[in-house]
Structure 1
Amino acid sequence: MTDLATPQQLADRTASAVEAAVAAGRELGLTVTDARVLHDVFSVVVHLAPSPVVARVPTVLPESTDLVSLARRQRDELAVTRWLADRGTPVVPPSPLVPAEPVQRDGFSMTFWEFLEEDRDAEPDYARNAELTAELHAALREYPGELAFLSAAEPHYVEIGLDRLEGRTDLIAPSLLDRARREWEVLGPLVRSRAAFEEAFPGVELRPVHGDCPPANIFQGVDGHRFADFELITLGPAEWDLASLGAELGAAYDRGAERNGLRPLDPRVQRFVDAVGMLRVVATLTLVPQLPVLADYLKPALEQWPAMPFAGGLDD
């Protein structure tokens, strides 16, 4: 591949994001003298020290995502996390030191969050986190804000991604791309239309869900766990938040669901969201030029895909 970002380009992108976050923070009245990068994958996450504020600056985005659509998504995230925090749900909340609005600067759109000390000795416990996801779903049930149906599936992104992968045999085999296109013909209409989904899965409740694998997005602070990264908050079935996590974590979620008065996962819906999730993985291959390490991250999922039922078995 000749279009992969070089190490220098990656470093320059990170530096630009940090500079934008520092400048924006200072304009908002924060004291920033010792900015420190906490994470740098899809977003550059910066502690604006000594202020107890963290800026999250998305840097690896599909070409179809512009600043307007990104800011709209960020406003949903800020609104839902503020609402949850006000009701005592353990989340990483927006910073109270600045307005809870996305800030655009130097081509970036960023949000600001309360700095929390991480428990660096804690080991990830994904079974526990899957159980906790049911607690989050119970808390979200009463959320009054309007959310788009399955926006986290990003159907426009999937469709553009499949088009962009045409001829990219360095990223995906033609046979797998063909399968992706044929699966999307089955799955796409159910992702785009709430009515079509409800006809295919009668009686399956739609509710606000985290949207981006909450068992993998629980921050372990020194004061306990916090739900984090609601960037893809959406209206959808509970199964969406357990997509592609397997039977063991699905069973863990069901234990939490029973404890919180929620329904267990529906196997048929689970196969549907697993299949849609896999097509999002395929579309994410288009981001490899921006973030070359993604190729290694996505490889295991792509290797497992041929063994999965075609389109979640919905073509039967």
Structure 2
Amino acid sequence: MTAFLTQEQLADRTSAAVDAAVAAGRELGLTVTEPRLLHDLFSVVVHLEPAPVVARIPTVLPDSVSLDSISRRQRSELDVTRWLADQGVPVLPPSPLVPREPVQRDGFSITFWQYVPENRDTEPDYAANAESTAALHAALRDYPGQLNFLGAAEPHSLSASLDQLAEHPELISPEDLARARREWQALEPLVSSQEQFQKAFPGIDLQPIHGDSPPANIFAATDGDRYADFELVSYGPVEWDLAALGPELEAAYNRGARRNGQRELDGDVLAFVNAVGMLRVIATLELVPKLPVLAEYLNPAVDQWRATPSQQ
């Protein structure tokens, strides 16, 4: 039987992450006297007050993800956000007060960011955010660094998570898991190979992409909106960043693309990234024992997937 973390164990994990961030920050020369928890879901985010620095610590991860692989991903995020900030793109930038490198401590991999005050008097405008995503893509096109093709899909981790779920029928039925595996078997070659993707979708240009639904990851700062959370920054089709957001937000993105002289979203590629995104939701069921509240968000999506015809 799967063991789900208790509230006490969840609190202990959060406390351990905060303690690691505080200790790491102090070792880097920051003055930290009153750490303030800002967010706690997949990552713990803490303001290392009075230093104008925010630490982010991933805490809820698949078993197949190693500390070193997290650090590699974080280096890409730090490099991309620093480069975007240097181009004048509004982002949450890395902190200039410490080296731009992840720090491993006490089993965590920690990154440090500039503290930016939040405007708490505004509600997200997802249509405006989707339209703005076209401008982010225009800026990202010139990023000179190397990024993994569709690294945001995390194909190795997705495969490992489906294997792990086979041991936990209380999280997903054997019938549903068999369907997910069939669908992934057909999609995985296009996710793992740029060459195979381009054979399947000739003429679709590829570029650096945010990787994790930028319309849902725009931070409302007191000085204006900023793009945030580039943890899954990758190389791929722009459609990935609009996966599963629906026709209204797709149309909003297309408005922004037309205004910037960019191509609009391709329907076939959208169908592909939506299918992969759905399987990533299925794979995320592996994390429910580590974060039980996830079931409230994932189960309705799984029900919707179950009600749709199989893609294979």
The TM-score with structure 2 as length reference comes to 0.98
The equivalent residue for 1:86 is: 86
The equivalent residue for 1:203 is: 203
The equivalent residue for 1:215 is: 215
Change (3 A) 1:71 1:135: same
Residue 4 (1) aligns with residue 15 (2): no
Residue identity opposite 2:69 in structure 1: S
Residue 236 (1) aligns with residue 212 (2): no
Alignment gaps of 5+ in structure 1: none
The equivalent residue for 1:301 is: 301
Q: Is the 8 A contact 2:45 2:55 kept in 1?
A: yes
The Cα of 1:155 is off from its aligned counterpart by 0.6
Residue identity opposite 2:103 in structure 1: V
Q: Is the 8 A contact 2:64 2:161 kept in 1?
A: no
CA distance in 2, matches of 1:261, 1:95: 34
Residue 55 of structure 1 aligns to a residue whose secondary structure is strand
The equivalent residue for 1:290 is: 290
Residue 18 (1) aligns with residue 18 (2): yes
CA distance in 1, matches of 2:299, 2:121: 29
Residue identity opposite 2:276 in structure 1: V
Runs of 4 or more consecutive aligned structure 1 residues displaced over 4 Å after TM superposition: none
The equivalent residue for 1:108 is: 108
The equivalent residue for 1:257 is: 257
Residue identity opposite 2:82 in structure 1: R
How many residues are paired up?
312
**1:131-170 mapped onto 2 (5 Å cutoff):** 131-170=131-170
The Cα of 1:308 is off from its aligned counterpart by 4.2
CA distance in 1, matches of 2:103, 2:168: 35
CA distance in 2, matches of 1:16, 1:52: 21
Residue identity opposite 2:20 in structure 1: A
Change (3 A) 1:227 1:160: same
Q: Is the 8 A contact 2:2 2:168 kept in 1?
A: no
Compare 295-304 and 245-254 and name the one that shifted more. Answer: 295-304
The Cα of 1:169 is off from its aligned counterpart by 2.4
CA distance in 2, matches of 1:204, 1:243: 16
Alignment gaps of 5+ in structure 2: none
Residue 119 of structure 1 aligns to a residue whose secondary structure is coil
CA distance in 1, matches of 2:163, 2:65: 16
CA distance in 1, matches of 2:253, 2:216: 13
The equivalent residue for 1:121 is: 121
The equivalent residue for 1:49 is: 49
CA distance in 2, matches of 1:271, 1:307: 17
Residue 18 of structure 1 aligns to a residue whose secondary structure is helix
1:224-268 per-position Cα deviation (integer Å, ceiling 9, x unaligned): 000001000000100000010111100000001111111000000
The TM-score with structure 1 as length reference comes to 0.97
Residue identity opposite 2:53 in structure 1: V
The equivalent residue for 2:226 is: 226
The Cα of 1:174 is off from its aligned counterpart by 2.2
CA distance in 2, matches of 1:96, 1:270: 38
1:141-193 per-position Cα deviation (integer Å, ceiling 9, x unaligned): 00000001001101111111111111422111222211101101110110011
CA distance in 2, matches of 1:27, 1:173: 47
Residue identity opposite 2:179 in structure 1: R
Change (3 A) 1:244 1:102: same
CA distance in 2, matches of 1:270, 1:103: 36
Compare 176-185 and 225-234 and name the one that shifted more. Answer: 176-185
The equivalent residue for 2:39 is: 39
Compare 186-195 and 159-168 and name the one that shifted more. Answer: 159-168
Residue identity opposite 1:133 in structure 2: T
The Cα of 1:310 is off from its aligned counterpart by 3.5
The equivalent residue for 1:68 is: 68
Residue 44 of structure 2 aligns to a residue whose secondary structure is strand
1:57-100 per-position Cα deviation (integer Å, ceiling 9, x unaligned): 01011111111111110000000000000000000000011111
Residue identity opposite 2:6 in structure 1: T
